[in-house]
Amino acid sequence: MLINVLLTLWFYTAHGQGKPCSYPVIKHGRLYYSYRGYFPARVHQQFVYSCDHHFVPPSQRSWDHLTCTAEGWSPEEPCLRQCIFNYLENGHTPHREEKYLQGETVRVRCYEGYSLQNDQNTMTCTESGWSPPPRCIRVKTCSKSNIRIENGFLSESTFTYPLNKQTEYKCKPGYVTADGKTSGLITCLKNGWSAQPVCIKSCDRPVFEKARVKSDGTWFRLNDRLDYECVDGYENRDGRTTGSIVCGQDGWSDKAACYERECSIPEMDPYLNAYPRKETYKVGDVLKFSCSQGRIMVGADSVQCYHFGWSPKLPTCKVKSCALPPELPNGKRKEIHKEEYAHNEVVEYACNPKFLMKGSHKIQCVDGEWTALPVCIEEERTCGNIPDLDHGDVKPSVPPYHHGDSVEFSCREAFTMIGPRFITCISGEWTQPPQCIATDQLRKCKGSILFPPEGRPAHKIEYDHNTNRSYQCRGKSERKHSICINGEWDPKVDCKEEAKIQLCPPPPQVPNACDMTTTVNYQDGEKISILCKENYLIQDAEEIVCKGGRWQSIPRCIEKIGCSQPPQLDHGTINSSSSAEERREIHEQRLYAHGTKLSYTCEEGFEISENNVIICHMGKWSSPPQCVGLPCGLPPYIQNGVISHKKDSYQYGEEVTYDCDEGFGTDGPASIRCLGGEWSRPQDCISTNCVNLPTFEDAVLTDREKDFYRSGEKVAFKCLSYYQLDGSNTIQCIKSKWIGRPACRDSQGKCGPPPPIDNGYITSLLKSVYPTGSIVEYRCQAYYELRGNRNVVCRNGEWSQLPKCLEACTVSEETMRKHHIQLRWKHDKKIYSKTEDTIEFMCRYGYRELTPKHTFRATCREGKVVYPRCG
């Protein structure tokens, strides 16, 4: 045997035929009908081999040839692993079975919240099978409910986020992120969200009037202090040349403004005397007047220097009496009516219940004319529940409680009331309620040396609650009285010299405020409520206070600033009760008045996340709500299929996939999506098997016919004796349809039946054989356009190039209504357009364009058209 092998080797080498091949070892395969006596094999010698289960030759046939070459056996790796991709656990399974050779890679799609091992999205066919396995495992997700952003919100409507998903959060108006921006980004990580978003209160850089700021920042945090200094010749309200303001919850604590330090001497009536007489007067100085030569002063007897000048107007020296004072709408006079009122006489007014007074409650007769009336405006704010009183009761009353309404309390037996019996609703707040103290626990008041002696040391004498005592101070003739109230004398027993009460001049006429001209002086502690003119908004306190002979807390009336277009809302629109003409006018102006309220409505399938109203306040809209997609219940049932993973409920946008029974499949996507409380329409699971094997006059079946064939299965034919094969000899079952036909060409140049085309047909009756030069005509079904030559010719056993039938575009009234559009030139309910035809749209009346202008000239492309949108 060894001699035979050596002789064989010498023979091949001597004759230049290359090195022979020894017996092959085929991994995962074996030779057909081979004996070791055949080896070594000569170059170019071939052997038939097959592979084990799950392995195939590189040609993917059931068997192949192993060839001896000068370099060795070919193919070098005869058997390769064949991986089948027909199911993906927790992922989207392919519509039909797919086969891959060893080394090939396929990209897969897992369900939301799932991923392949090690967060991969591809599988590779290896010698041992798929790597990683076709199994999607749940990955870490982050939930919207796991994070709460104070003064901010997540801008997306999604509820769950996969690992490494980045999303944007936004701060409400008046708040910013830690780095001063209105929005920021967070990422879903394995341990949860990357960071806790923070929206901090901020104040924009204020506008400075006659002042210089000591910082170049453009925004400031809560409690940040901003220092400023006045330009030369100016000072702030406190009379200083420097000051500071603090960023608070309601904005800056004050206005960084400086005013002229002085008022010049005003021009006066020649009979009017002013004092104190000075060259200049500082802000806050008061100038008093008197008339000479027996004349009577008409007007205020004093004025005050403010940053905007002297106020009120200077008096004159005249005299006249007044007729009856005017009636006050929604109010009444306190005084008894008289026929005539003397010069300088004062009349007081009070507003009716539910109304709040703005302006001075006193008017004065000045040279025959009454000064300006106050205004009684309706107070919309009401008070809540009556406060509880321990050991006391309240007389029955019916809510709501409006401004000016009072309720009466009483204490139970053995308890004594301390404080006022009535409480009153004032601008939405109740006044301080009384107390009910056990009568036997009422404290006594200690005596005073100012009381008349009673035979015992004064400090050892005690007085019961409600005891009234009188006393007289040294050098004074009048007697004082005080009453003991639960251990305290009211008023305090004291003989100290009382400070002389300083009266305030008549209140100033604040610029852009309603007229409240008066000449009446006010006592310390009295307040006046200021009412700004229409289209002006009060800033700072609404009331000015008389304190120490001067008016304090002077407010400003600033012009109301309108807002530009309101924020857009995903899946939502703005309600408007105005007419289409008014909406168009507002849109052209792009401005909404201060105080305007707009409400949002969500599209069908979405619900509003919070209060649906936004308000325009001084040029800025309040924070808008969000439209959140409604969840869905159980997905719809389909025949011959089941849901891969069933739950009780599904969030908006969530997908589920159907698995069809064996032998069934879908003619399209196998998944449906939850869209606003309803599921998208599922595809039916239809049979994918093929029946009724077609027959061909120029070819016959090579095997026995079966009752049915599975999708993907192929059937081979052979040509008849006078035909020859010109290409594939197989047809394939694809989703219950037979695809292809045997390519048998007449050996004498004749053609078989002309092939069919999609959405078209042949005008003549079919024949089994067509001689060379024969012509057949194709036509398309209704609403399909023929592209190519409609006449096909038989030449040398082959048909010339076939035409195509292109699908038409259909536009329905329902589709246009959903997009708020209509046809520009036609009014048909339904039209059909050919490929490359142009369809022109326009917005319905009262809507505006949301997509670019060019999208309203859409082109039909093979049955598809892109619609514009209006809103």
617: domain CATH number is 2.10.70.10
Do 132 and 43 fall into the same domain?
no
**510 is a domain residue:** no
Point out which residues pair with 673 in neighbouring strands.
655
Do 399 and 447 fall into the same domain?
yes
Q: Given a cut of 50, is residue 140 above it in pLDDT? A: yes
Binned at pLDDT 50, 70 and 90, residue 831 comes out as low
Q: Give the per-residue pLDDT at 667.
A: 67
**Average pLDDT, stretch 57-78?**
91
Do 152 and 222 fall into the same domain?
no
Type and span of the H or E element at 280: strand 280-282
**CB–CB of 199/152 below 8 Å?**
yes
pLDDT tens digit sequence for 525-546: 888 888 888 888 888 778 888 9
**Average pLDDT, stretch 275-288?**
84
pLDDT tens digit sequence for 435-465: 999 999 999 998 888 888 777 777 678 888 9
What is the overall mean pLDDT for the chain? 83
Tokens of 182: 């209105």
Residue 454 per-residue DSSP state:
-
**Alpha-carbon separation of residue 357 from 139, 365, 537 (angstroms):** 65, 20, 17
The torsion of the CA quartet 870, 654, 673, 600, rounded to 10 degrees, works out to -30
Which of 1-10, 68-77, 234-243, 528-537 holds the top average pLDDT? 68-77
**CB–CB of 315/300 below 8 Å?**
yes
Point out which residues pair with 263 in neighbouring strands.
281
pLDDT tens digit sequence for 841-871: 889 888 888 888 888 888 887 778 888 988 8
Q: Give the per-residue pLDDT at 443.
A: 92
**25 is a domain residue:** yes
**439 is a domain residue:** yes
Q: Given a cut of 50, is residue 414 above it in pLDDT? A: yes
Q: Give the per-residue pLDDT at 777.
A: 93
Q: Give the per-residue pLDDT at 300.
A: 87
**Average pLDDT, stretch 367-377?**
85
Residue 344: phi and psi, rounded to 5, are 75, 0
pLDDT tens digit sequence for 245-265: 888 877 888 887 887 777 878
Do 122 and 134 fall into the same domain?
yes
Rounded to an integer, what distance in angstroms lies between the CA atom of residue 323 and that of residue 376?
22
Per-residue HEC secondary structure of 363-413 comes to EEEECCEECCCCEEEECCCCECCCCCCCCEEECCCCCCECCCCEEEEEECC
With a CB cutoff of 8 Å and minimum separation 6, the contacts of 353 are 402, 403, 404, 405
Q: Give the per-residue pLDDT at 506.
A: 87
Do 622 and 649 fall into the same domain?
no
Strands 105-107 and 775-780: unpaired
Binned at pLDDT 50, 70 and 90, residue 757 comes out as confident
Binned at pLDDT 50, 70 and 90, residue 408 comes out as very high
pLDDT tens digit sequence for 5-64: 333 444 444 444 567 888 888 999 998 876 667 788 899 998 899 999 999 999 888 889
Q: Give the per-residue pLDDT at 752.
A: 78
Do 23 and 57 fall into the same domain?
yes
Do 146 and 219 fall into the same domain?
no
Rounded to an integer, what distance in angstroms lies between the CA atom of residue 53 and that of residue 594?
79
**293 is a domain residue:** yes
Q: Give the per-residue pLDDT at 18.
A: 65
Distance of alpha carbon 433 from the chain centroid: 45
**327 is a domain residue:** no
**CB–CB of 284/305 below 8 Å?**
yes
Q: Which of 629, 662, 678 is the last residue of a domain?
A: 629
Q: DSSP assignment of 409-447, as one string?
A: EEEPTTEEEES-SEEEEETTEEPPP-EEEEGGGPPPEEP
User: How many CA atoms are closer than 13 Å to the CA of 660, on its beta-carbon side?
Assistant: 25
Q: Given a cut of 80, is residue 576 above it in pLDDT? A: no
Tokens of 51: 């592979």
Binned at pLDDT 50, 70 and 90, residue 730 comes out as confident
Q: Give the per-residue pLDDT at 604.
A: 81
Q: Give the per-residue pLDDT at 498.
A: 66
**CB–CB of 112/162 below 8 Å?**
yes
Do 855 and 821 fall into the same domain?
yes
Q: Which of 138, 163, 185 is the last residue of a domain?
A: 138
Binned at pLDDT 50, 70 and 90, residue 137 comes out as confident
**Alpha-carbon separation of residue 808 from 393, 784, 791, 833, 842 (angstroms):** 83, 5, 22, 6, 21
Do 485 and 409 fall into the same domain?
yes
Rounded to an integer, what distance in angstroms lies between the CA atom of residue 184 and that of residue 693?
63
Q: Give the per-residue pLDDT at 73.
A: 92
**Average pLDDT, stretch 144-162?**
79
Domain that holds residue 420: 392-454+464-471+481-490
Q: Which of 224, 239, 260 is the last residue of a domain?
A: 260
Strands 55-56 and 80-85: antiparallel
Q: Give the per-residue pLDDT at 579.
A: 46
Binned at pLDDT 50, 70 and 90, residue 518 comes out as confident
Q: Given a cut of 80, is residue 803 above it in pLDDT? A: yes
Q: Which long-range contacts (CB under 8 A, 24 or more apart) does 441-450 make?
A: 442/416, 442/486, 442/487, 443/486, 443/487, 444/484, 444/487, 445/484, 445/487, 445/488, 445/489, 448/489, 448/493, 450/493, 450/495
Q: Give the per-residue pLDDT at 133.
A: 93
**CB–CB of 471/493 below 8 Å?**
yes
Q: Give the per-residue pLDDT at 769.
A: 79
Q: Given a cut of 70, is residue 731 above it in pLDDT? A: yes
Task: Report the percentage of the chain scoring pLDDT > 70.
Answer: 93
More reliable by pLDDT, 135 or 583:
135
Residue 488 burial (C-beta neighbours within 10 Å; 0-12, 13-18, 19+): middle
**333 is a domain residue:** no
Rounded to an integer, what distance in angstroms lies between the CA atom of residue 468 and that of residue 453?
15
More reliable by pLDDT, 748 or 66:
66
**Average pLDDT, stretch 168-173?**
86
Do 188 and 130 fall into the same domain?
no
**330 is a domain residue:** no
Q: Give the per-residue pLDDT at 14.
A: 40
Residue type, 319: V
**Backbone φ/ψ region at 688: left (φ over 0), alpha (ψ -120 to 50), beta:** alpha
Tokens of 300: 């205020």
pLDDT tens digit sequence for 762-791: 888 888 778 888 899 999 887 778 888 999
**Average pLDDT, stretch 346-366?**
87
With a CB cutoff of 8 Å and minimum separation 6, the contacts of 234 are 210, 211, 241, 258, 259, 260, 261
Rounded to an integer, what distance in angstroms lies between the CA atom of residue 346 and that of residue 360?
11
Structural domains counted in the chain: 10
Of the ranges 52-61, 421-430, 482-491, 759-768, which one carries the lowest mean pLDDT score? Answer: 759-768
452 prior amide bond cis, ω within 30: no
Q: Give the per-residue pLDDT at 668.
A: 66
**CB–CB of 193/142 below 8 Å?**
yes
Do 290 and 269 fall into the same domain?
yes
Q: Give the per-residue pLDDT at 84.
A: 92
**27 is a domain residue:** yes
Q: DSSP assignment of 463-522, as one string?
A: E-TT-EEEEE-TT--SEEEEEEETTEEES----SPPPPPPPBPSPP--TTBPP------B
Helices then strands, counting H and E runs in the chain, come out as: 3, 86
Do 122 and 189 fall into the same domain?
no
